[in-house]
């Protein structure tokens, strides 16, 4: 009987004082947007990190049409709950841009966007104002002078 109690006490002490790995969790969201005029990919990663030295986003991997373009090693998240980065990237309509956000403690999340087709303005459209001025007034006001 005492042997079983000793084993239980030893197991209880080990469970309390032995370090346990913290469960790894991947980022909760990745949002991507592309600014064509500046050729910039804007990356926002939502990832809650209680200790920014030990937790947070470790690395961002950027792919264009399944070809790896670059890796951004992250020393520290920009905020305890998120990371924001910009990446210079030339892309054309139809290109698939994928970003993999990797957590320091393990786990990752990927997001992909496809660059939309942008129709450039024709030369005659560039010269014309977006809103044409009215040649005649829309509303005529009756002043009561004409009887």
pLDDT in tens, 87-133: 999 999 899 999 999 998 888 999 999 998 765 555 655 555 554 44
Q: Name the maximum alpha-carbon separation found in the chain.
A: 118
For every residue of 25-72, which 3-state class applies, written as one string?
A: CCCCEEEEEEECCCCEEEEEEECCCCCCCCCCEEEEEEEECCEEEEEE
Quick: pLDDT tens for 52-85: 777 889 999 999 999 999 999 998 888 889 999 9
Its pTM stands at 0.65
């Amino acid at each position: 009987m005492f042997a079983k109690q000793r084993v239980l006490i030893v197991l209880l002490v080990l469970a309390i004082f032995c370090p346990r790995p913290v469960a790894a969790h991947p980022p909760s969201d990745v949002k991507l947007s592309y600014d064509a005029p500046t050729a910039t990919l804007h990356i926002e990663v939502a990832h809650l990190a209680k200790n920014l030295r030990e937790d947070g986003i470790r690395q961002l991997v950027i792919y264009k049409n399944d070809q790896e373009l670059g890796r951004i090693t992250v020393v520290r998240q920009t905020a305890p709950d998120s990371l924001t980065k910009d990446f210079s990237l030339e892309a054309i309509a139809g290109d698939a841009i994928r970003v993999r956000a990797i957590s320091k403690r393990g786990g990752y999340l990927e997001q992909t966007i496809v660059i939309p087709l942008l129709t450039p303005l024709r030369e005659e459209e560039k010269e014309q104002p977006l809103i044409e001025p009215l040649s005649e007034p829309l509303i005529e006001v009756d002043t009561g002078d004409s009887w």
